Structure 1
């Protein structure tokens, strides 16, 4: 392969295809249930939820297409799989190769540490947005049959762009921790725990009076302002992108400063 970026994408093609197709199929399957939800099948199930819990889970308007997809498909299922993809990819990117002994071989070629990190970050971003694009195509494929026409193509695209950034962000966290420590287990554990805490900050914290905590969570900027209703939220997308850039810079700095022989 001509460079690290294309080599990384080629080596991960099967895993990416599996994640993308799996995420799209899960999303399309649950989106197809919307006609039953619209007919009132779900309203009775959530009637016993408190107003605060319904708000936290985006179930205030479960009968609408945007409300249903925002609470289930894009609120829980699809981002969960996408974040798992990002973390798994980011964990392998630096720490995985280092523990496998492949990193020394790679760096013996004319490849700088900075270039290696940036190319791995680029491969992560391309993979994440490929996954998001496949999800978008799946949503558009079932849109008419599942009575989701009230959501425009642009609104679906806005949510899927946010999905790509969310997966890239958590993958970048894993890359940054892996670049700083060289430990795959540490990168996996820290990014996973942080993902759980961030999700809790966006959903559970408001229930205990810590409303401000949600603004520290990437999940808030992913779906908090409801792209499925309001389209592209440029400030939210900018915050996610800026966080990725900052974390990527930290990954480059920490990897360049670390003694790989230790």
Structure 2
């Protein structure tokens, strides 16, 4: 059971550790910077000079608090944008890479279904998803102790737990691109560019007559600033993201089962 998930999951361990280490460094940098940038400066007044679209895009609110600072600098940028694009890009090679390199015919010659291959390959992205969301909050908590700051443990856990549906949608977008395009490089560019485009769609249409278009973007349903600054946990939004993940997986499965890879 789950042979492919275990195999491809093990292959992701090294990259997952490297990615998590990178975010650990980023956490340390932001926490170390906070006392310096907040000292003697009214960051909240400074924020008001930013364009509304920029404040909306990166959740810039209450920068004068450690919660608002981390929400804007680490989570709105690191999780919503960078990790979202990373998971879309990484998942875009799940199928397309084997097709591109001519390995998929051999894989499907085994007594396994296409659905099993597809879904267990997708399951392998849970390795980096789990690692970065388990390690980072611990690092954040320890780093804050070094500057005599604290943050609600419940909100910190929530901002990571609620990021899981968001990142799963990003990976599902990548998977759909992976089954549609045979060249891995094309699938990766389409997935990363498409996910970034959805992020921009939500940002530029906010507070306009076209704000309804932003409902197509996953970023509309995951707001780390609301979680950390206002303790508002959007469980309904998480449900929407999980439902979108299922829809994208079913669409990918349906397309993959009918696709000719000869």
User: Which residues in structure 2 correspond to 1:83-232 (within 5 Å)?
Assistant: 83-149=84-150, 151-206=151-206, 209-223=209-223, 226-228=226-228, 229-230=230-231, 232=233
**Which residue pairs with 1:29 in the alignment?**
29
Asked if 1:80 is matched to 2:81, the reply is yes
TM-score (norm. length: structure 2): 0.88
Structure 1 pair 248–28 and aligned structure 2 pair: CA distance change class (3 A):
farther
Return the offset for 1:208.
5.1
Greater shift in the superposed pair: 14-23 or 30-39: 30-39
Name the CA distance, whole Å, in 2 between partners of 1:207 and 1:233.
Answer: 20
Return the offset for 1:256.
0.6
> Higher relative contact order by CA 8 Å / sep ≥ 6: 1 or 2?
2
Name the CA distance, whole Å, in 2 between partners of 1:86 and 1:16.
Answer: 11
Does the aligned pair in 2 maintain the 1:4–1:116 contact within 8 Å?
Answer: yes
Name the CA distance, whole Å, in 1 between partners of 2:82 and 2:130.
Answer: 13
Does the aligned pair in 2 maintain the 1:205–1:211 contact within 8 Å?
Answer: yes
SS, match of residue 32 in structure 1: helix
Greater shift in the superposed pair: 172-181 or 210-219: 210-219
CA-to-aligned-CA distance 1:204-229 (integer Å, 9 cap, x gap): 22265432233221112121671213
**Which residue pairs with 2:62 in the alignment?**
61
Does the aligned pair in 2 maintain the 1:53–1:207 contact within 8 Å?
Answer: no
Name the CA distance, whole Å, in 2 between partners of 1:51 and 1:79.
Answer: 18
TM-score (norm. length: structure 1): 0.88
The gaps in structure 2 that reach 5 residues or longer are: none
SS, match of residue 93 in structure 1: coil
Return the offset for 1:66.
2.0
Structure 1 pair 196–225 and aligned structure 2 pair: CA distance change class (3 A):
same
Name the CA distance, whole Å, in 1 between partners of 2:213 and 2:35.
Answer: 35
Asked if 1:20 is matched to 2:20, the reply is yes
Greater shift in the superposed pair: 66-75 or 33-42: 33-42
**Cα RMSD, aligned residues only:** 2.4
The gaps in structure 1 that reach 5 residues or longer are: none
Asked if 1:8 is matched to 2:8, the reply is yes
Name the CA distance, whole Å, in 2 between partners of 1:225 and 1:216.
Answer: 20
Name the CA distance, whole Å, in 1 between partners of 2:99 and 2:76.
Answer: 35
Structure 1 pair 90–156 and aligned structure 2 pair: CA distance change class (3 A):
same
Structure 1 pair 259–230 and aligned structure 2 pair: CA distance change class (3 A):
same
Structure 1 pair 109–51 and aligned structure 2 pair: CA distance change class (3 A):
closer
Return the offset for 1:8.
0.2
CA-to-aligned-CA distance 1:60-117 (integer Å, 9 cap, x gap): 3110222111211111134333224312321221001111122222222222110011
